[in-house]
Structure 1
Amino acid sequence: MPHRLPAALALSVALVLSGCSDDPEPKVAPEPSALNSPATASPSGHASGLGPEGVVRAWVEARNEALEEGNTTAVRKLSSPSCKTCEDLLRPIKTVHAEGGEFDTPGWRVAGTNIKREGRGQIEIDTALIYASGSTTPSAGAEPVRYGEEKHIAVFRLVRADEIWLVDFIGYLS
């Protein structure tokens, strides 16, 4: 799979950025420099006041913080209770930290977003993600597993709950 990933990624990025679909011309928003700073959530941990794309960026930032500390509370507050894919992405973080392991990576970076579908209380956003290179030590005393940078296109589906957007699904297009 790693050998096919660059070609698939290049095609996916080209399709997302060029807007090859039956949908109207997509508007991919590269990450503005002001959004390169860490996203912030309200004192309650929720992303009140953030639009859907801001919530995606806040979710990624909170996940990156969880990699460092093992505490997934902030990222879970940005996830709907029914988000099984969120849990699938967060469970390994908790497991590695519980086993005395660690992550040595800055994590993910949002390279761009593209709102695909909006409906009553729901929105889908195609998101270009860059996974930074690094290593994972799966448990205390284990040898680190090293990995290189990867690029992916993910779909974040958000739902509106109590006047805030929450991540309800994360799936991969590449």
Structure 2
Amino acid sequence: MEILQKGKYHGKAKRFKMVSSSSGAHEDSSTADVLLDLGSSRIDRPFTYFVPEEIRGGITVGSQVLVPFRARLHAGYVIGCGASADSDPNIELRPIVSVLDPVPLFSSEILDLSRWLSQTTCAPWVECIRCLIPTGILFRIREFAVKGEVKTGEKLSPPEEELLSELAPSLPAERAPR
């Protein structure tokens, strides 16, 4: 079932596919539909990701996950689990990196309410979800400068350590979110 919604931009209609919500129980499926929290209302549709075997038990509707999108990692919300009927088997899906919170942030009822709110007010779906989640529990990606080992597991060389120790006092402790 598809619903046409009048878009905010240039008076064009946006096409949204209704995503069936589950009961909230853990799903044993290999794919998940994720609505990305990009801070942009231009990309207001779910993307399908592959769920790795090691995190399948922790994925359910309402889970907040970390997924690759373009060249960066972004937080997103699982809005559906299971094989998508319109997914092409020849397309290689990108995997979900991790589950950010073991407890789902919202139920399937909140998901339905956010979808209705988005369709009624022409607001981006992700903004409607954010409005219905209690403040202070959303995961934000922050980058820090840290002494010690690099992500690859390699140790910093003595000149690199010295440079980092000189630069560290002038660097902010964390980057402000955009």
TM-score by length of 1: 0.26
Question: Is the helix fraction higher in 1 or 2?
Answer: 1
Higher relative contact order (CA 8 A, sep 6+): 1
TM-score by length of 2: 0.25
**Structure of higher CA gyration radius:** 2
